[in-house]
Amino acid sequence: MCIENIYTPKEFGQLIGRTTNTLQKWDRKGLPKAHRSPTNRRYYTHDQYLKYRGLKAAKQGLTMVYARVSSAAQKPDLRNQVNALEAYCKQHSIAVDEWMFDIGSRLNYKRKHFNRLMEMVALGQVRRLIIAHRDRLVCFGFEYFEAFCERHHTQILVINGDSLSPEQDLVQDLIAIVTIFSARLHGLRSYKKVLKDAAQQKEEERMNRSHVIRLNPTPEQEVYFRKACGVARHAYNWALDHWKQARSEGKRVKMRELKAEYNRVKHEQFPWCADVTKCAPEQEFRHLGQAFDNYWRMKKDGTQPKLKHPRKDGEEAGFPHFKNKKRDRLSFYLNNDKFSVEGNWIRIPKLGKVNMTEQLRFSGKTLSAVVSERAGWWFVSIAVEVEHQAPTHQGDAVGIDLGIKTLVTLSDGEVFENQKHYRQNLGRIKGLSKGLARKKEGSQNWWKNKKKLAKAHYRVANQRSDKLHKMTTRIALTYALIGLEDLNAKGMLANSCLAQAVNDASFFEVKRQLLYKAEQHGGYVQLVSRWYPSSKTCSSCGYVKPELLLSERVFICEDCGYVSDRDYNASLNIRNEASRLRTSVPVVASSAR
């Protein structure tokens, strides 16, 4: 007596991936019909499971047709196989019960329909198997599979069954082996991610650093610099003008097309371009392309700036504008193969050596250089790719509270005062601005006064930059986890009473410097939400005050009586919140105290 496996509805549902409710609906429709026990309990048999999986047909002795190609690119060949097999079956009046197709290598024995076909043969369900060629089923060992099918009463019909001599058969096998294993060299694609990750890890070990050095050009060299800046500005304006013309004609042109057209006509129409390096105009096409990318991105994201007055050219906010000699900063670009640095000298094409006030601090692969003018002085910014090792940071966590009265208050009690550089120099700036307004624009005295005003602003910027760099470098080297409020500095400028003080404090610049310096030295900056009530919350008991005026500089907790400086209390709360958000400090670099 043979005892057949039986399953409860729950067990049967788990086997076929269905719920008991679905099985009840199928039972009422008779697909499949559940058996009933003497106590009227539903159950299913193993035979029903095999029929559901297609491993046992209701009618034995099926005629199957199998076709295969090696890749998705060979789908046209698969259709040709199917057409040939259909024609063969019609010609010989063969009724096909099921067609099976696979896309995979003939050395791949994990093909889905191939394995299902072999299971059906083993269960005795297949009477006849039709294939186009022997290698459509397997590459090697066809005789073994043929004998396997014969033992299970399955006949294999090969419609293209040309017999070869032993020598020819051996040659065909060798060709197949060479072809397949040569194709499998492309299996390196499976290591693409590994190689990409390794390259990325190697890339992370390198860092691009820029060193800005002041130049000491002679009058003749300064003339060359101004010519190069003029050529770069002309190329930018020429490309923008031709782009607008193409737009008015309903055409769209690419930057590389404009660049090719410019290079074709510049020797005839703009012969003075040959007086300076070719890098000056060529880079401006990339700058214009980047300007258009920024414009389309802002338009897509809805982040275009708001205009107080419509633009004279009628364009939208953020659209690239023509460069102006008086308004825009003078600069031009140099490729890494067009200049060289030797000690305190930089060699520029068609100019020669130009003196630098100091030597290049970084050693590594030179990437590019940008020569620019500011407040009457000329500078060169040299980008260098340097090796970056990542030792371990052993610092603690700290919270930073930014303010106007005190620029930075740390949670360990250290304070960095707000030196208010712009306010200290405001008297001189006002005097120079008043003198500039009283002079005739374009006169010699007007240019002299404008240069003095530019140098006054430049002095303020340098004082502020020096203070911020020293402060942020010390914080990044000392602390591994830095908690910082994500302040909306731009929104704070809407308050006309605080706008000048907020601009002078440079909250955004503090955040920017801390972000890249902490990463460079192995630390981490955890930004705390601007809506987090750091000033209203008691760092001792967690009580949150409903109201706290800006004039209240001492925090007094109404719940526990804790008394502390307002900024120090806020820095403690920021540190605690940053530690909560960042459960672990990354161990990627070292620091020095």
Condensed to tens digits (0 to 9), the pLDDT of residues 280-293 reads 999 999 999 999 99
User: What is the per-residue pLDDT for 488?
Assistant: 85
CA terminus-to-terminus distance, the chain? 85
Residue range 146-168: average pLDDT? Answer: 73
Q: Does the pLDDT at position 587 exceed 50?
A: no
Distance CA 98, CA 89 (A): 12
Residue range 228-234: average pLDDT? Answer: 95
Q: Model confidence at 335, in pLDDT bands (50, 70, 90)? A: very high
User: What is the per-residue pLDDT for 296?
Assistant: 93
Catalytic annotation, pick one of 102, 284, 504, 567: 567
Single pTM value for the model:
0.61
| Proportion of the chain above pLDDT 90, given as a percent | 39
Q: Model confidence at 546, in pLDDT bands (50, 70, 90)? A: confident
Catalytic annotation, pick one of 284, 401, 504, 577: 401
293 is a catalytic site residue: no
Model confidence over 206-221: pLDDT tens digits? Answer: 788 899 999 999 999 9
552 is a catalytic site residue: no
Q: Model confidence at 588, in pLDDT bands (50, 70, 90)? A: very low
- Evaluate whether 125 touches 57 at the Cβ level (below 8 Å): yes
Average model confidence (pLDDT) across the chain: 84
User: What is the per-residue pLDDT for 586?
Assistant: 47
Q: Does the pLDDT at position 131 exceed 80?
A: yes
Q: Model confidence at 585, in pLDDT bands (50, 70, 90)? A: very low
Which one, of 437, 589, 441, lies nearest residue 524 by Cα?
Answer: 589
284 is a catalytic site residue: no
Model confidence over 450-487: pLDDT tens digits? Answer: 999 999 999 999 999 999 999 999 999 999 999 999 88
209 bridge partner residues: 384
Q: Model confidence at 591, in pLDDT bands (50, 70, 90)? A: very low
- Evaluate whether 136 touches 68 at the Cβ level (below 8 Å): yes
CA distances from 392 to 480, 518, 521 (A): 9, 12, 9
Q: Which is more confidently placed, 145 or 404?
A: 404
| Proportion of the chain above pLDDT 70, given as a percent | 88
User: What is the per-residue pLDDT for 584?
Assistant: 47
Catalytic annotation, pick one of 102, 284, 485, 577: 485
Phi-psi category of residue 343: left, alpha or beta, with phi > 0 → left and psi -120 to 50 → alpha: left
CB atoms closer than 10 angstroms to residue 513:
19
User: What is the per-residue pLDDT for 476?
Assistant: 92
Q: Does the pLDDT at position 58 exceed 50?
A: no
Model confidence over 520-536: pLDDT tens digits? Answer: 888 889 999 888 888 88
Q: Model confidence at 593, in pLDDT bands (50, 70, 90)? A: very low
Q: Does the pLDDT at position 128 exceed 50?
A: yes
Q: Which is more confidently placed, 194 or 303?
A: 303
